[in-house]
Structure 1
Amino acid sequence: MMVPWQSVPAETLTNLIEHFVLREGTDYGEQEVSFAEKVEQVREQLKSGDAVIVYSELHETVDIRRQRDLRP
């Protein structure tokens, strides 16, 4: 189930994004991107709809996923 990012309390949203960035381990190429910049990039992706917050009732977990990676 998708959860609107606007419905998540600000502190919780920040914690969720930070956790996502820390475990993502994405290679950003030759340019180093700071942790704060990565967090802001994910926040902007949520705002634009490129990323979504997904809650799994089965596993009782919350995750951030790219919209394009979700099954139709």
Structure 2
Amino acid sequence: MARDAETIQAEIERARDALAVTIDELTTRANPRRVVEQGKRTLRVTLADPKVKYSLMAVGALFSLVVVRRLFR
């Protein structure tokens, strides 16, 4: 079944528009500033979790204790 030139042209225009929208979306998602901001937000949320926060505090305290102990040997 043959298609006429106008139908083919219309399909090409729709495909071109869809591609333009996709490229715009990818450009927005891959923006380095946006990626950094997303990483910062994720890190803040993760560090706000009490399990993570108190675990890091305990590791820091233990590390400090080991360093002080080695200094005074």
Length-normalised TM-score, structure 1: 0.28
Greater per-residue strand proportion: 1
Q: Determine which structure has greater relative contact order: mean sequence separation of CA pairs < 8 Å that are 6+ residues apart, divided by chain length.
A: 1
Greater per-residue helix proportion: 2
Greater Rg by CA? 2
Length-normalised TM-score, structure 2: 0.28
